[in-house]
Structure 1
């Protein structure tokens, strides 16, 4: 029975069973003591009768008086000597005295049946209570699981008296508080998403105009190196602004849960080769290498566009924190429980003060020499990986490089 899965109830039933057996055993011991006392009195009476008969040379006419007249101490002693010599004393086995044996058996059975009956009644009442208690707990457990799965209308039955109802009442209060918090958090995320979306859309128009004006200016032949230099800087900053706006909008949608992933089966090696090709020109220009080591038979089910964004941001981060001549290696590992994508570089590494903040949005390290980043790429990568049920783990040693491990459990991704 499932009620015995509850450790405390199991201990309670075991304790009760031990008590009942102890009670039955104690009852049998008491009956034995009572029987021995009865036997002692019976033997004493027989001693007196035997002594009386012996002392008075009783004939058949005097026989009734042997049982009805008071006996003297002399009668007792005479009878004791007579019967002890015949082996009839208190050490004699009860089975040799039919009346004593019948007395013992009768009351031993009575006490045993009475003890067993009381035990069965007590055990039945306790079992009924335990079953009812267990059903209440199982229903509460089922309701709590349904609540956690999104059915926020469920409430535990706290209309009865007792400590269990007090506990259910406290859980209901906690659930109400949690719903309020979830609702408020959802409203905040919706507000954040809408706000960033509105700002992004509002900025797109003037940004597009600025980019158009800048292109017109760049197309004009201006024989002034300073002007040309500033025009190129303006172009770069406009591109950064557009990238930042797009990333903020993506991050806001992820935070608000407004993204529906379009998952499909994807060959991992081909997917990573496609990403690496996007960075080959930059890597060649900066005298860096991006190498891939991945079996052709590994596949994952994910949203290609979003994972392209995530992995690209990590590779871009690696390129930004490596020097000329450094290498970025990407490898795949297919284990029994997970598929791991390892992106490793032999660059600058992460300072110990920055290690716990690298995924914090807009975080900029005071040790970083990169003035171009805005500190949102890794945040976006982490959110995308977690949206797919994966995990990012980072290992780094200052001056020796950094390794990003993207871990996708086969239980949730295959």
Structure 2
């Protein structure tokens, strides 16, 4: 405590005042001088005890701050009476809790990043291995027909890799928060027709019919490009699970409270075990025939929720999968 320069200055000043007061008291009357000395001793002892108690609490706070800075767990800051130290303790407690929350978030983010990188590496390794195998077969294939077939399969694998990489880049941009969504009026009928356009050839080859029913004037506010990306990812999932001679039904419900887009396919639907995790990143389903990379639906949900909407999936009572996108008014 006496290492503090201010305390030393106060002690010197107090001693000077005490000496002057005692000298004046003794000059007037010996009893007055004694009373001045006793009063100074009592005040000095009270000041010393009070200051020592404050320094003890400050030392405790300093220790707590040091433990926080060294990432100590279970840091306990005792309650204090009313006053400046109580306010300081309260602020330090808030700081401690905030730092812990940030540390926990950083640990989770670090773990998530490591898991994501491992998943990405695994997702890319599969088509790369297949492409290398195709190239080896292509090199040793003597027949022209066989070479063309292998070349088509290799090209398809590279297209899948391109889609996967682009989707991962979009997810990373969304995760980083660098995407700024535009606000514009998007007509639902035009959105659905535009979303279906890239799949027309594939639908004709597999004899898949599609119907679109949307009220005139039904619209939502959002980013047209990103919302189109989300709808196409859902359509891609529906078409992959519909099979030949299937049907795709797209409809819109426009009410005073919300605008809802419903997409239903005529496929086998989802396993009950898969439903809770359909929109989880890199989740591919438990069934033996599960395909895809577990990216499309995760990207879809991120896009829609970031624009204030919701997306859900379920099985239709009459068969097939149903996706519902809803935007509140």
Interval of TM-score (by shorter of Structure 1 and Structure 2): 0.5 to 0.7
TM value normalised by structure 1? 0.49
**How many Å separate the matches in 1 of 2:222 and 2:253?**
17
- In the other structure, the counterpart of 1:276 is 196
Which of the numbers 234, 256, 265 marks the counterpart of 1:336?
256
SS at match of 1:281: helix
- In the other structure, the counterpart of 1:235 is 155
1:329-372 Cα offsets, whole Å, 9 max, x none, are 1111112221111111221110112111211222222425354x
CA displacement at 1:306 relative to structure 2: 1.0
Which of the numbers 94, 97, 108 marks the counterpart of 1:174?
97
Which of the numbers 361, 371, 378 marks the counterpart of 2:281?
361
**How many Å separate the matches in 1 of 2:97 and 2:204?**
58
Asked if the contact 1:350/1:398 (under 8 Å) is kept, the reply is: no
TM value normalised by structure 2? 0.61
- The more displaced of 286-295 and 265-274 is 265-274
**How many Å separate the matches in 2 of 1:188 and 1:257?**
19
Asked if the contact 1:292/1:330 (under 8 Å) is kept, the reply is: yes
**How many Å separate the matches in 1 of 2:228 and 2:239?**
16
**How many Å separate the matches in 2 of 1:308 and 1:403?**
18
- In the other structure, the counterpart of 1:98 is none
The yes-or-no answer on 1:401 pairing with 2:320 is yes
Q: Is the alpha carbon distance of 1:348 and 1:328 closer, same or farther for their aligned partners in structure 2, counting shifts above 3 Å? A: same
SS at match of 1:386: helix
Q: Is the alpha carbon distance of 1:302 and 1:296 closer, same or farther for their aligned partners in structure 2, counting shifts above 3 Å? A: same
**How many Å separate the matches in 1 of 2:316 and 2:271?**
8
**How many Å separate the matches in 2 of 1:398 and 1:226?**
44
Asked if the contact 1:268/1:299 (under 8 Å) is kept, the reply is: yes
> Which residues of structure 2 form unaligned runs of 5+?
1-78
Q: Is the alpha carbon distance of 1:172 and 1:337 closer, same or farther for their aligned partners in structure 2, counting shifts above 3 Å? A: farther
- In the other structure, the counterpart of 1:320 is 240
Larger radius of gyration: 1
- In the other structure, the counterpart of 2:82 is 161
Which of the numbers 244, 259, 268 marks the counterpart of 2:164?
244
**Structure 1 vs Structure 2 CA RMSD:** 3.7
Q: Is the alpha carbon distance of 1:357 and 1:186 closer, same or farther for their aligned partners in structure 2, counting shifts above 3 Å? A: closer
**How many Å separate the matches in 1 of 2:109 and 2:289?**
38
1:201-239 Cα offsets, whole Å, 9 max, x none, are xx9xxx9xx9xxx9xx9xxxx852222222111111111
Asked if the contact 1:189/1:256 (under 8 Å) is kept, the reply is: no
- In the other structure, the counterpart of 2:178 is 258
**How many Å separate the matches in 1 of 2:149 and 2:102?**
56
**How many Å separate the matches in 2 of 1:190 and 1:159?**
41
1:380-401 Cα offsets, whole Å, 9 max, x none, are 1111111111111112159811
**How many Å separate the matches in 2 of 1:382 and 1:350?**
17
CA displacement at 1:250 relative to structure 2: 0.8
CA displacement at 1:173 relative to structure 2: 3.0
Q: Is the alpha carbon distance of 1:368 and 1:391 closer, same or farther for their aligned partners in structure 2, counting shifts above 3 Å? A: farther
SS at match of 1:253: helix
- In the other structure, the counterpart of 1:267 is 187
1:2-17 alignment, distance < 5 Å: none
1:165-203 Cα offsets, whole Å, 9 max, x none, are 78776544322322444566678889999x89xx9xxx9
SS at match of 1:321: helix
Which of the numbers 372, 375, 378 marks the counterpart of 2:294?
375
Q: Is the alpha carbon distance of 1:368 and 1:274 closer, same or farther for their aligned partners in structure 2, counting shifts above 3 Å? A: farther
Q: Is the alpha carbon distance of 1:400 and 1:408 closer, same or farther for their aligned partners in structure 2, counting shifts above 3 Å? A: same
